[in-house]
Chains A and B, each alone.
Chain A
């Protein structure tokens, strides 16, 4: 074991859908709810837009965790984007765990535009789990 870096803070990439989760994050901000500043939000049109490549690239390029959040089933702005996404994510998450990557590094959830509180809680939970896991080492690109 190397030296423990006490200043280390997890870096988490959050892909949020424009119509629900991003608005949920906004509401959390407007409502002045506290949540850790470890997430970097990337706004996407729909959770269906998120390719597994995005998630893998994040992990390759230094993210310690990835969160994907979309509209609740049935609430998708494009009707079925989140349903299709759900199938893809189920497979991706299962495969990552299968090859031995900590399953908690990649998380999926639904947050609606009215769920500011839930958004803050999700970020809390994800940050704490990733913090407990420590820095991601397995998929990250190394210097040659």
Chain B
């Protein structure tokens, strides 16, 4: 494993250099909340944050995208595919859990047999520089779902905060290429020892809570059980957990007339909305909170293992922090495995 170092005071300059070549998405603070968004200059970025409210998945699966548009002008109808050449872009300062989520999304949208060209187009253009978590939050549970506060899965480079400097861990060739372009200093041996200590300490603060393979079996047998009704009783059926989740990826496609154009738009959808499964006949197979909440948990912790060989959750804790009624996914999972 290769390492380089960069002083914290040099980060702004580092980003300003990169901005000439890349579109950069990074955590920024706006109106008191930390959101992931496009930056115009290096000094906008904040790196002493816990985690952003929204997840960086927006960079690869935007909430809203036009797939094709159609226009009639003087009796000639032309259809335009909105698949432009993608600019190279960077996800800077993403948390390791969020970087890992892209590996999961790859399985959904970029499978060998079935590729979503819109997704692949963006995914190929992205380089991910993640930021290890020296101070995990109370709501973090990445170790439970197979990741960790310094997991390198999905990242091209991993920054590790060691006080005055960041150690830059080079993970992929893409990352190495990027580092070559920049003038980073050699990492000292004592810096590496300090880093190992930090990693151990941080990891120890989030011990895994559940064994996932055993959980799956329990969940599968619970499908018809009465537990779900009680668990989902306080659920509001809003879309917060799914929209903020870095791994949730369900979408809807609608045709909309906007000005004199018809656009085919893909937008996020949520399994928590009653209309998600509403059929033309008026029949809804998931009519109540119980079925919808069960779907969310079963999808992530059972069906995804069947279909993709990994769980559809990276343990970022956004759904725990942001749920308006504190319906804590960790408690729900423990209630099954605890039996």
Contacts and interface: CB of A to CB of B under 8 A. Distances in A.
Contacts of B265: 144
Contacts of A143: 69, 258-259, 261, 263
Nearest to B261: A143
B66 interface: yes
A144 B259 contact: no
Contacts of B259: 62, 140-143
B64 interface: yes
A21 B194 CA distance: 82
Interface in B44-74: 64-66, 69
Interface residues of B, number: 10
A41 B261 CA distance: 24
A144 to B, nearest CB: 5
Contacts of B261: 143
Would you list the 8 A-B pairs with minimal beta carbon distance, nearest first?
Answer: A141-B258, A144-B66, A143-B258, A143-B259, A143-B261, A144-B263, A144-B265, A144-B64
B30 to A, nearest CB: 21
Interface in A128-144: 140-144
A97 to B, nearest CB: 25
| Number of chain A interface residues as a range | under 10
Interface in B74-103: none
Interface of A: 61-62, 140-144
B164 to A, nearest CB: 45
18 contacts: A61-B257, A62-B259, A140-B259, A141-B258, A141-B259, A142-B258, A142-B259, A143-B69, A143-B258, A143-B259, A143-B261, A143-B263, A144-B64, A144-B65, A144-B66, A144-B258, A144-B263, A144-B265
Interface in B251-278: 257-259, 261, 263, 265
A62 B260 CA distance: 10
Contacts of A141: 258-259
A144 B82 CA distance: 11
Contacts of B258: 141-144
A144 B64 CA distance: 9
B61 to A, nearest CB: 16
Contacts of B69: 143
Contacts of A62: 259
Nearest to A60: B258
A38 B258 CA distance: 22
Contacts of B263: 143-144
A141 B257 CA distance: 9
- Kindly name the residue among B64, B65, B69, B259 whose own CB sees the greatest number of chain A CB atoms within 10 A: B259
A115 B258 CA distance: 38
Nearest to A62: B259
A127 B65 CA distance: 37
Contacts of A140: 259
A56 to B, nearest CB: 16
Nearest to B259: A143
A8 B261 CA distance: 20
Contacts of A142: 258-259
Given A62-B259, A144-B64, A144-B65, 15 more contacts: A61-B257, A140-B259, A141-B258, A141-B259, A142-B258, A142-B259, A143-B69, A143-B258, A143-B259, A143-B261, A143-B263, A144-B66, A144-B258, A144-B263, A144-B265
A144 B62 CA distance: 13
Nearest to B65: A144
Nearest to B82: A144
Nearest to B267: A144
Contacts of B66: 144
A62 B69 CA distance: 19
Contacts of B64: 144
A81 B202 CA distance: 67
